[in-house]
Amino acid sequence: MAKYIDKMNLPERAEKTSGSRIVAIDVFCGAGGLSLGFEQAGVDVVLGIDFDPKCISTYNQNLKNGVVKDVTKIRDVSNFVSKHADSDRIDLVIGGPPCQTFSPVGRIKLRSLGRDPESDERTKLWRYFFKFVKELSPEFFVMENVPGMANIIYNGGNLAEHIVSFARKLGYNAEWRILDASEFGVPQRRKRLFIIGRKGNRPINWPEKKIKKPITVWEAISDLPKVPHGFRENEIEYDFSGRLTPYQKLMRQGAGDVLYNHMTRWHNEDDLRAFSLLPEGGRYVDLPDELKRYRDDIFKDRYRKLIRNQPSWTIDAHISKDSYRYIYPSKKGGPGPHRTISVREAARLQSFPDTFIFLPTLTHAFRQIGNSVPPLLAKAVASAILRSLGGGTR
């Protein structure tokens, strides 16, 4: 496969105009999971901003008007938005400032490097998000982050509460909650913290749990072709002839008979043997001693095989480095495939539809997926906001 695939004959994305729909911009947009969910709910996201050109490449393939820009370097917000957004008004500012300093793993890494997470400049990126809120004065804002934000001591208190207080000083009724994506139709137990603000003292609507029984891994990915490890064809035929689950039907809408991004990592023979010997839910610590290359008291979860009849555990950005914690749920000792999950399987577990194409490489795609807000969770949040307005128009 070529290093870059953004010159392929990919389907054209549709251009949209705002009309009377609610208009939003996405700050720190990444690959576009939050934007996509809000678009699915009926919001017109007219601008996405991120410093990573690879993310913006993916964003523009699937959405519209993504701009490569370091948000911290934007001095005149109003002028920047006026220049790049195809709308004369902004009703909603959404976004997820980078969360490395808020996550437990990120904080441990920083301390191992002798750096204080509270002093890291990324801990203050939320302020740049609110620079957009302050200057654009939207009716609503939605900020998303990891649950660890609620555990950060900031100016003597909880950072999430501090941000809520900050928003109230700007004239917004603001609240924060932690939502589990698996309760909103995403086949993954992934908790995210949301802070929603609404101008004035008007109430805030939060999404209600959508399903009682979570979508499972197998309900999400069992229809996808059983490709081997090291498979690097980015565009293949989708020829499943069995009965699709409701979730699979949702993911396949508009995708036709083509499947993109179903690429997999190559593994050595030791890894392949280890994968084949693990039962569903099995971990590195469960392997025979002769297959252990690392200490199993420290690396108990270095390998972990997904469980078919349960949602996935959280898919994080580390999947871009290796996928050992996301081993395909083949039967122990069975025919396979014995490998870690593909890009498309990871995207399915994050609720990205099959029409959403990740650019430019496998590694970038995995990182973008791991850093994303699941679109169906974003859609639930957006739908709750629209209900508070009595619909999706102004």
pLDDT at 294: 67
> Does 340 map to a domain?
no
> Does 165 map to a domain?
yes
Catalytic annotation present for 99: yes
pLDDT at 379: 98
pLDDT at 334: 92
> Does 131 map to a domain?
yes
pLDDT at 86: 87
Place of tokens 């580390």: 318
> Does 121 map to a domain?
yes
Is 342 within 8 Å of 224 (Cβ atoms)?
yes
Residue 138 belongs to domain spanning: 23-207+372-388
Find the radius of gyration of the CA atoms of the chain: 21
pLDDT at 109: 53
> Within a 13 Å sphere around the CA of 170, how many CA atoms are in the beta-carbon half?
25
> Does 353 map to a domain?
no
Number of domains comprising the chain: 1
Q: How far apart are CA 141 and CA 119, in angstroms?
A: 26
> Does 72 map to a domain?
yes
Is 24 within 8 Å of 363 (Cβ atoms)?
no
Residue 182: DSSP 8-state:
G
pLDDT at 390: 77
> Does 264 map to a domain?
no
Give the pairing type, strands 191-199 and 235-237. Answer: unpaired
220 phi, psi to nearest 5 deg: -90, -35
- Write the CATH number for 34: 3.40.50.150
Alpha helices per DSSP H over the chain: 33-41, 53-62, 77-84, 104-112, 125-136, 159-169, 217-221, 246-252, 269-277, 343-349, 362-370, 375-388
Q: Catalytic pick from 23, 25, 43, 99?
A: 99
Is 358 within 8 Å of 8 (Cβ atoms)?
no
pLDDT at 26: 99
Residues whose CB is less than 8 angstroms from the CB of residue 19 and which lie 6 or more positions away in sequence, other chains included: 44, 393
> Does 358 map to a domain?
no
pLDDT at 110: 43
Taking the chain (394 residues) in runs of 10, the rounded mean pLDDT of each run is 41 49 97 99 98 98 97 97 94 90 50 54 84 98 96 84 97 98 98 98 93 96 98 96 97 97 97 96 90 70 94 97 96 94 99 99 98 98 93 60
Count of Cβ atoms closer than 10 Å to residue 378 Cβ: 33
CA nearest neighbour of 328 among 222, 188, 250:
222
Backbone torsion region of residue 391, taken as left when φ is above 0, otherwise alpha when ψ lies between -120 and 50, otherwise beta = left
